[in-house]
Every structure is written in C-alpha cells, then in structure tokens.
Structure 1
Amino acid sequence: MLTIDRATHDAIIAHARRDHPDEACGVVAGPAGSDRPARHVPMLNAAMSPTFYEFDSGDLLRLYREMDDNDEDPVVIYHSHTATEAYPSRTDVNLAGEPGAHYVLVSTRDGAHESGPVDFRSYRIVDGEVTEEEVRVVDRYDDEAPITQQKAEH
C-alpha cells in the first residue's frame, strides 16, 4: 500500500494538469528505507510528448546525487497519461528500474486536466510484473495524532 500525504498527492495532480496535454513526470523522495514520500520533485518531461515521458538525464543525475547526499530513496516515481487510463503501458513497464518504488500514474483524460476527480493509481513493478496497490491519502504522517484518511479516487 502507498500511504501519501494529501499535499503531495494534490501537488502531483496539479503537476499533471499543468503539463497537460504533455505527460508530466516526477519523483517523490523520502528518507532511505522509510517508504514515506516526503520531498516532491516535479521534473521536466524532456520528450515533451502527450504519449511518452523521459526524464532529462542531467536533471535525473543531479536528483540522484541529491538523494544520495540526503540519504533518500526514490519512494514514488510518477507520470501522467493524457488520453488513456492510469495503467502502466508496456514502455512504462520496460522502463521501471526501481523495484522498491511505487509507480504512480495519473490520468488527465476526458477533461480531468481541467477539474474534477482524476484517476490516481499506484503500482509495484518488479521484473516486468505489474501489481496494483491501494493508495491511502492522509492529512499528515504524524504517527501520534489521529489521521484522517481517504482512499484515492479511481
């Protein structure tokens, strides 16, 4: 299960809407070993395409160096689909190189890029096998305070 704070969840959706009709992409880093998304890093889709995303290699190298320096992992790797459902394409599966990451897809099709609910789904992709997982959106990660939770809209 992916547990993600509402602010990061909403920022990912806003990024997908802002970049539409091109696919948006980015990473959410978190403390190494924590599986907790903490630092949202929207990236540039170097392909600038409505059907494909590609991280700029220089930006990606800088991000991985930053994460190493901060003792962080890529907890979430996300991108949007602008005309199809939020399900990994064959290309997405082939490019999935972080077996510990949650792969989030946001669909901005059918007017979702303007308003209303979006399809926000998360997957684990390991050795070419795709497994969908539940998404739990929380107001905050404070383990000692009550948490308001809501299952992400599909």
Structure 2
Amino acid sequence: MLTLTQALYDQIVEHARKDHPDEACGVVAGPAGTGRPERFIPMLNAARSPTFYEFDSKDLLRLYRELDDRDEEPVIIYHSHTATEAYPSRTDVTYANEPAAHYVLVSTADTDGLGEFQFRSYRIVDGVITEEEVQVVEAY
C-alpha cells in the first residue's frame, strides 16, 4: 500500500493538470530505507508529448546525485496519462527500473475538472504490474 500526505497528493495532481495536454512527470523522494514519501520533485517532460514522458538525462543525473547526497531514494515515480486511464503502458513497464518505488499514474483525460480523475499506484517488478491501495493522510 502507498501512504502519502494530502499535500503530496495535491502537488502531484496539480502538476499533472498544469502540464496537460502534455504528460507530467516527477519523483517524490524519501529517506533511504523508510519507504516514506516526503519531498516533491516535479521534473520536466523532455519529450513534451501528450502520449509519452521522458526525464532529461542531465536532470536525471542531477536528481540521483542529489538523492545520494541527501541519503534519499525515489519512493514515488509519477506521471500522467492525458487521454487514457491511469494504467501502465508497455513503455511505462519497460522504463520501470526502481523495484522498490511506487509508480503513480494520474489520468487527466477528464480536463473539465468536474468529473472523476484517476490517481492509481502500482508496483512494477520484472515486468509484472501489481496495483496497490492508496491511502491519503493529513500527516505521518
């Protein structure tokens, strides 16, 4: 199960809505070994695409150096789907190389803001997708 604060949930959703119609992407880091998401890190979608996301290689290198310096790890890796449900695509599965991370997908297909949107979390290990429950709390 993924447990995250309402503030982090809101930041992820806001980023997804702000970058629509392009896919948004980013990371939520936490202290190494805790599995607790704490620090929101929005990233730039270098592909600037409504159907694909890609972290810029320089930004990604800088991120991992920063995580290492702060003794953090990526707890959540998130991105949005702009026209489809919040379910990992084959490409998403191919890029899922952090077995301990929660892969969060937010669907922004409903852009009028009045209907339901999807916020879902998955574990992706060795190509196997497992959906998990998401619990939103006020604080840890």
TM class by smaller structure: over 0.9
Q: Which residue number in structure 2 is paired with residue 122 of structure 1?
A: 121
Give the match's secondary structure for 1:87. coil
Give the match's secondary structure for 1:86. coil
RMSD: 0.9
Q: Which residue number in structure 1 is paired with residue 108 of structure 2?
A: 108
- Say yes or no: does 1:52 pair with 2:18: no
Amino acid at match of 1:3: T
User: Cα deviations across residues 8-59 of structure 1 (Å, max 9, x unaligned)?
Assistant: 0000000000000000000000000100000000000000000000001111
Give the match's secondary structure for 2:61. helix
Q: Which residue number in structure 1 is paired with residue 87 of structure 2?
A: 87
Report the alpha carbon displacement of residue 115 of structure 1 after superposing the two structures with TM: 4.7
Give the match's secondary structure for 1:51. coil
TM-score for the superposition, normalised by structure 1 = 0.89
For residues 4 and 89 of structure 2, what CA distance do their matches in structure 1 show? 23
Q: Which has the larger radius of gyration?
A: 1
Identity of aligned residues (%): 74
In structure 2, the gaps of 5 or more residues are none
Q: Which residue number in structure 2 is paired with residue 16 of structure 1?
A: 16
For residues 100 and 61 of structure 2, what CA distance do their matches in structure 1 show? 18
Q: How many corresponding residue pairs?
A: 140
For residues 19 and 88 of structure 1, what CA distance do their matches in structure 2 show? 19
In structure 1, the gaps of 5 or more residues are 142-154
Amino acid at match of 2:107: S
Runs of 4+ in 1 over 2 A off after TM superposition: 114-117
